[in-house]
Structure 1
Amino acid sequence: MTTTVTISEEDRRLLGLWAAGCAERVLPLFETEAPGDDRPRQAVEALRDFTRTGKRTARLRSAAWAARAAAREAGDPAAEAAALTACGAAAAPYIHALASPHQAKHIHEPALRAARARELAAGGDESAGDEELRWAIEQAPAAVRALLRRLPVPAAGRGRPGVLRHRLDTALRG
């Protein structure tokens, strides 16, 4: 039996605003490495359009996939993580109403990718990722926190990404 949760358009809009903020903070890490490639920025701009109109358009979905393609072509781990942040952010409004740990991971994605981008840009300095995660937690709207609480807790995973996921999930649910 599949359980569903209620996700309002306002929940999606507020999730999008938060996700866009996470992505915008690390976009320069991508743009420094690939100054002629605006696909991640276009993904964030499409997300900002969604937050104003409430319409999930083909442009938004295509922009998310284009940011993922830009990540594959980045050639630098921090730039790749920054582009993946933009991809995850642009995909955030497409969260499903299924009460699954996978959907919780979609909520986490922009903040986690941004934290990893900061760490990688700082030569693996975990304090840079910790600081980025703190910012994301402080900025998370009450609606995003409430939405996450309605979803099952995902497994944290291994290594540093798992540590960051656990910290983020615990803080946002708290």
Structure 2
Amino acid sequence: MAAAEQNLTIDLDLAELRAVTAFSVACAEPALAIFERECPEDPRPRAVLDEARRFAAGGKRTKALRVTSLDAHRAARAARESGREAAFEAARAAGHAGASAYLHPLAKATQVLHILGAAANAARAFELEAGDDPAVGAGYVEKFAGLAGPVVVDVLKRYPDAPGGGRRAGELLRTLDASLRSRSVL
């Protein structure tokens, strides 16, 4: 049994939360262009990335960060309801980037979504944009793995492995999770 499964809580400090959020923003930001191209009238995903970027750079975890994260998820739902699946995934990536600042120190596999959700949804958005080409998603997972610094990998390894489910974005999340866990942390 892994240490994270034996303990109820995980040590996590503000600097680590900022590193996780910076990683999430770096993964979600490229996919924002997909959303803005398909939903140019909706500023909500950009707003949460702006808030998350401020937090990652040393700002406070504000109510605006939480609200804009929820708003980005609402934008995702609206995109899906209008049949724009790539925009849905891109907005979810932005929402997860904002939510990453609220990673809980609970030893639960579901918390991995706060760490890797932005990357997985962004990879899925690019995959859909490329005609649902799984090689594109895999390529972005590899690219995003390269963006994860030692702090992000160390934080991830404190949590149980990523949970099942989540359809294709969940598969991408688990692939990224396994890739990062195979690294040695310096």
Same fold (TM over 0.5): yes
Deviations 1:3-41 (A, max 9, x none): 111111111011111100111110000000111211100
- Which residue of 163, 169, 174 corresponds with 2:177? 169
Q: Which moved more, 1:63-72 or 1:160-169?
A: 160-169
Tell whether 2:160 aligns with 1:152: yes
Deviation at 1:161, TM superposition (A): 3.3
Q: Is the 8 A contact 2:110 2:163 kept in 1?
A: no
Offset of 1:166 from its aligned partner?
2.5
1:51-130 matches, within 5 Å, as: 51-74=56-79, 75=82, 76-130=84-138
Deviation string 1:26-57 (CA, Å, 9 cap, x unpaired) is: 00000001112111000000001111234110
Q: Distance in 2 between matches of 1:159 and 1:12?
A: 27
Cα distance 1:17–1:4, how it changes in 2: closer, same or farther (>3 A)?
A: same
**Deviating runs (4+, > 4 A) in structure 1?**
none
- Structure 1 position 31 matched with structure 2 position 36: yes
TM-score (norm. length: structure 1) = 0.94
Counterpart CA distance in 1 for 2:167 and 2:98 is: 26
The within-5 A match list for 1:5-20 is 5-20=10-25
Residue 53 of structure 1 aligns to a residue whose secondary structure is: coil
Structure 1 residue 137 corresponds to structure 2 residue 137: no
Amino acid aligned to 2:26? G
Instruction: Give the unaligned 5+ runs of structure 2.
Output: 1-5
Q: CA RMSD in A?
A: 1.5
Q: Structure 1: state its 5+ residue gaps.
A: none
Answer whether contact 2:119 2:173 (CA < 8 A) is retained. no
